Amino acid sequence: MTDSAIVTDSAIKKYLNERIPRYTSYPTAPHFSAAVGPLSYRDWLMAVPGGARLSLYLHVPFCETLCWYCGCHTSITRHRAPIERYVETLEREITHIAGLVGSHRVAHIHWGGGTPSIVGPGLFLAVISRLQQRFAVEPDAEIAIEIDPRHLDAGMAAALGQGGVTRASLGIQTLDHAAQKAAARIQSLEMTQACANRLRRAGIRDLNVDLLYGLPHETVASCEASVGAALTLNPARISVFGYAHVPAMMKHQRVIDAAALPNAEERLRQEQVIGDTLVRAGYLRIGLDHYARPDDALAKAQLSGRLRRNFQGYTDDPADALIGFGASSIGRLLQGYVQNASGIKDWGDRIEAGGLATVRGIAVTPEDDLRADIIERLMCDLQADIPAALRRHGFDAGWLDTELFELEPLVADGLARIDRGVITVPEASRNLVRRVASQFDAYLDPAAGRHAVAV
């Protein structure tokens, strides 16, 4: 057995500023290419076996105003016409894809954005009804939607209830007024509470909350205050992300004063105070950045080893394939990943021309599947059994000995233990699990600097 002392602060600091993928997929999205296009996707859809269970993702890339910290593909509008056109095209895409893949069972539907509730009650219910016509949506399917609490009226909340939504994610991010001002997103706790009440009155049983640390002007004290306030909503899950300042990719982030951003050590303390507060309140840590009440499905999935990782983060969704709809959406099929055109017009033109909007993707190899499995287990369970993974995927014992050998410096720094090929990331190094997982990433180019810092 290779072991080490407890991870030290200096060891953690050593890895803080490394830029590492979040591994919501493997291979990660920057490695998708035009080698996979509509023809491959068409074949992959038609090859989905009968009896497979699908998960559906719908992307709505519109918001009423832009938050300067935003890292999503979204477009700002206060007009109905572009939204109506978009939803019309989305329905067309649903019909077309359903025709290719067949009427499979659907256990999860996720509406992401942007602000998906911006479509309004009528269009929302029209899309739900189209999905129900074209797929066998299970009666107890989880239907989740991301909500901007600043813009959800009683009519839309009622439509979400009527459409069978079971889970809503409320973006709070921070209640630090200086940070809200710097991001041009003013949102009081009362506003969020009113939104949560509307959703609960509409029958939506599970509410999630999203928090961000590392925002300009945020402090350890204000992060602690934000999470304390968020707990008053009694959320089932809380996701805690570090703000990723990547102005080279997200040009609007240039408005953010980089001098007001907390440094790596402050970010770490902010992340720790939020996590400690949640654990004291009885929440279970889920993987890298989620927390769940013990009665929540995600907590149960973690305890029973069924936790999965996908583009929405952590999930208990055991679907055989994920089908994405809308501009920039990503899908995962047995054969690989596909991504739609990111531009709304580009995506719309391709769908309106009667085709698929796939512009990028990657066909996965057996080696990719093996590495993806190991990375997913590390990200979900903080543990991966390498000999068992090699057997599962039909590789010879010893095939990953180089990777195990190269883990030794991380073991020496306390980021991992290795016992007879079973890698375990100790609790104290949980927030550096990506660093351990990255040892199995055959595509990683640490010099590229396109990913968020490790904490």
Q: Enter the tokens of residue 109.
A: 């539907």
Residue with smaller CB distance to ligand SF4, 69 or 314: 69
- DSSP code of residue 64: S
Residue with smaller CB distance to ligand SF4, 67 or 87: 67
- Cβ of residue 215: shortest distance to ligand SF4, in angstroms? 11
Residue with smaller CB distance to ligand SF4, 116 or 331: 116
Go through the chain and tell me how many residues it has.
455
- Cβ of residue 72: shortest distance to ligand SF4, in angstroms? 4
Single-letter residue type at 438: S
For residue 114, is the peptide bond before it cis, meaning its omega torsion is within 30 degrees of 0?
A: yes
- Cβ of residue 223: shortest distance to ligand SF4, in angstroms? 18
- Cβ of residue 74: shortest distance to ligand SF4, in angstroms? 5
What are the CB-based long-range contacts (under 8 Å, 24+) for 149-155? 149/187, 149/191, 149/192, 149/194, 149/195, 149/196, 150/185, 150/187, 150/191, 151/64, 151/115, 151/117, 151/118, 152/117, 152/195, 152/198, 152/199, 153/198, 154/198, 155/121
What are the CB-based long-range contacts (under 8 Å, 24+) for 183-191? 183/67, 183/68, 183/69, 183/215, 183/216, 183/256, 184/65, 184/66, 184/67, 184/68, 184/255, 185/65, 185/67, 185/68, 185/69, 185/150, 187/149, 187/150, 189/229, 189/232, 191/149, 191/150
**Backbone φ and ψ of 135, nearest 5°:** -130, 160
- DSSP code of residue 71: -
Q: Torsion-angle region of residue 305: left (phi > 0), alpha (psi -120 to 50) or beta?
A: left
- Cβ of residue 184: shortest distance to ligand SF4, in angstroms? 9
Sites of contact with ligand SF4 (CB under 6 A)? 63, 66-67, 70, 72, 74, 113-115, 148, 171
Q: Enter the tokens of residue 229.
A: 């306030």
Residue with smaller CB distance to ligand SF4, 68 or 399: 68
- Cβ of residue 249: shortest distance to ligand SF4, in angstroms? 14
Residue with smaller CB distance to ligand SF4, 210 or 413: 210
- End-to-end Cα distance, the chain: 28
- Cβ of residue 167: shortest distance to ligand SF4, in angstroms? 17
- Cβ of residue 113: shortest distance to ligand SF4, in angstroms? 6
Residue with smaller CB distance to ligand SF4, 174 or 438: 174
Residue with smaller CB distance to ligand SF4, 283 or 325: 325
Residue with smaller CB distance to ligand SF4, 115 or 429: 115
For residue 27, is the peptide bond before it cis, meaning its omega torsion is within 30 degrees of 0?
A: yes
Residue with smaller CB distance to ligand SF4, 114 or 235: 114
